[in-house]
Amino acid sequence: MNGRNLKRRVMAFATAVMMICTALLTDIETMAAYENVNDGRYGNEFLVIRKDPSGKVGKVMNIPVTIKAPYDMEDVWVGLSDDLVNFYAMPKDGGEEAGLQNNYPFEISETTFEPKRVGNLKEGQTKTVTLSARVRRDMKEGYYCVPIAIYQNGKDGSPDIDNMNVWISTTASGTDSDEKDENTEEIAFVLGESQSTPYGTYPNVMNFAINMRNKSWMPAYDVTVSMVLSKSDDEFPFMINDGNYDRHFDVVEAGQTVQLPYSMAIRKDSYTGFYPIKFKISYRESMDGDKKISEGPGVFRNDSNGETLSTDTSVQSKDYEFYVHITGKEKEDNLGDFNENDRTKARIIVESFRTEPEKIMAGQEFDMILTMKNASTQVAASNILFTLEPEKVENTSVFSTESGSSSIVVNSLAAGASTELRMRFLAKAGIDQRSYTITIKEKYDSPEFKNAEESVTVDIPIYQQARLSTSTFEVMPDSIEVGGESNIMFGINNTGRIQLYNVNARFESDSIRTNEAYVGNIKPGETGNVDVMITGENPTQDEGKVKVIISYEDENGEVTEVEKELTLFVTEPMMEEDWMMEGMEGMDGMEDMEAGATGLAGWMADPIKKKILIGGGAALAVVAIIGVTALVKHRKRKKQQMEEEEGIDDEIS
């Protein structure tokens, strides 16, 4: 048989196997989880499953596995099975072998299938181990069946396979707190869930029960709840009539709630108030096959022969608190009224403070972070109330808080200790640029006095944005020859709330000689005027734009520049001969000029006619001046009209 025929037969065999798998699985989604892995149909022999573990896509999932030995077992190991053949199937629409669908929910790494050692188990004995694996990021939400391998006599032999369901959820379907509660590796309890605080009144007997829930994913065995007693009336309000207030449970299942019943007589000297009742809860994560009777935390007696066994290192314990309210006698107040002249009170000062951001602009939100220190070396402070009061302008606070509250409570501050306070403020937009005060009022108790009051202040600098605008540029004339001058006038308006210092206007262009005009300081709401002569230096080669650079300083000397533009044309100078020839255009001829000159000489020879001629010349001069003035005004009005039509806005910020 040649190699090609062998290859074809192998491919045909593989295709047949995949078709059989597809027929068995029928639909890969429906085989993602068994309906009930504990009903015996799937041959689970070792696993005890009380609750399906749950995990999230892309997260590491803890998988609690509880083994119950149907017979004596030695050197038992438990892990995830690497037999994944049933997790692969051909797509519904056929396809190549490379297109196989993989429905195994976990990422596969070098440690995924590494088993954990359970040890030796006697018949009927149970033990729990926790396996872990990361859920694949492409998994859909739903139940998936996972094979568990149980090895006996070491981890190198052939394992027995049992199955368990796991629930996989997407990120949106749960919360991190849910995942933590469900998959935590430690047993934890909740006291007083879904019940009100018990109330008791002296001299009545107080009967109450406390709800205790196992909030972990695994059962707790041999649970003992011990009430912590105290002879102090301030710590424990009940009479100690019994020698033992323990409550014992053989097992508290995962999620199960049990009740702790108590009947307690209230002490005569108990004061009215809330009391924290302390409990110590001990438990074990697994129960051995031999029934044992507790002789105390971690010590057990074998029920069959009464022999006391050694301490069980698997016993764990945790401390819990539950509050009750007692109505008894009123507590005497041994604190005197605060005296301003007393020197034994604590001294709470501002050790440091900062703002975020560091530079605060009007209208901006900011965080103020205060470090408050008890500067006293011996006297502590308690029940401290810090109230932050911003400065007011026209009966309105310059700062407002985000939440509306400006008070912070600190329970205690030891001598020499510090604490950090943080509060978010909004600076009002219309306030002036300056520093504003925040007063920190302190009210606290000291060991010998109550309601001590002090206040300290901090200054918060607030800055305003500088703003200016310019009036219309007046350029007369707007066209000059090289060497000629033009007068430029305009106003600079301070439209902000801060003063502009050392205001200066500089004129730059290739066609003019650079010049500057110093304006000086401009107060808010006022105007500084610019009046400068500009000299033409080169003929204009562009659109006649001249840069007007306005610079000013703030109170710290920082310079800011604003650039604007005006139009001024510079032309070549006109020669005298050209001017004379241009003026002669339109004359009838030299003969008329000579005749005019002869006639003028005849007039000047007569004294009376000479006076008339001089008077008429003066009148003509006045008419010429009026005409030039009217022409200049006409050009100015025309230019202003053009600028208004173009909609020039000189406002800047």
What digits encode the pLDDT tens for the residues 50-75?
778 889 998 888 888 888 999 999 99
pLDDT in tens, 606-631: 555 544 445 555 444 444 455 445 44
Q: For residue 547, which amino acid is it?
A: K
pLDDT of the residue at 179: 44
| Predicted model pTM | 0.36
**Which amino acid appears at position 379 of this protein?**
V
Cα 541 to Cα 473, 509, 512, 546: the distances in Å are 22, 11, 12, 12
Cα–Cα distance, 502 to 499 (Å, whole number): 10
pLDDT band at 464 (very low <50, low <70, confident <90, very high): confident
Cis bond before residue 357 (omega within 30° of 0): yes
At residue 92, the pLDDT reads 59
Two tokens at 587?
């004359």
Q: Tell me the percentage of the chain whose pLDDT exceeds 90.
A: 31
Checking if the pLDDT of 317 tops 60, the result is: yes
Average pLDDT for 381-408: 86
Weakest-pLDDT range from 428-432, 440-444, 519-523, 584-588: 584-588
Higher-pLDDT residue of 222 and 85 is 222
Residue 119 has pLDDT above 70, yes or no: yes
For residue 314, is pLDDT > 70? no
Tell me if 187 sits within 8 A of 256, measured CB to CB. Answer: no
The pLDDT score that the predictor gives to residue 211 is: 93
Q: Of 41-50, 275-284, 327-336, which one has max mean pLDDT? A: 275-284
Tell me how far apart the alpha carbons of residues 150 and 116 are, in angstroms, rounded to a whole number: 10
Q: How far apart are CA 505 and CA 492, in angstroms?
A: 9
Residue 44: is its pLDDT beyond 60?
Answer: yes
What is the mean pLDDT of the segment spanning 185-207?
86
pLDDT number for residue 31: 39
pLDDT at position 340: 53
| Amino acid letter, 105 | P
In the structure encoding, which two tokens stand for residue 646, read together?
């173009």
Rounded-to-5 percentages of helix, strand, coil across the chain: 15, 45, 40
Could you read off the pLDDT of 413-434 as tens digits, one per residue? 998 899 999 989 999 888 888 8
| pLDDT at residue 43 in the model | 63
**What average pLDDT does the segment 503-521 reach?**
93
Per-residue pLDDT at 26: 39
Is 233 a residue whose pLDDT tops 80?
Answer: no
- Return the structure tokens found at 365: 């939100």
| Residues 223/252, Cβ–Cβ less than 8 Å | yes
pLDDT of residue 533 exceeding 50: yes
Average pLDDT score over residue span 405-409: 85
Q: Is the pLDDT reported for residue 148 higher than 80?
A: yes
Residue 88 or 64, more confident: 64
**Residue 296, Cα to own-chain centre: how many angstroms?**
50
Q: Determine which of 235-249, 518-532, 548-562 has the lowest per-residue pLDDT on average.
A: 235-249
Q: Average the pLDDT over 345-350 and give the result.
A: 86
Q: What is the mean pLDDT of residues 7-28?
A: 46
What domains sit in the chain, N to C, each tagged with a CATH number?
A: 3-183 (2.60.40.10), 189-327 (2.60.40.10), 345-463 (2.60.40.10), 468-571 (2.60.40.10)
Place of tokens 């504990």: 38
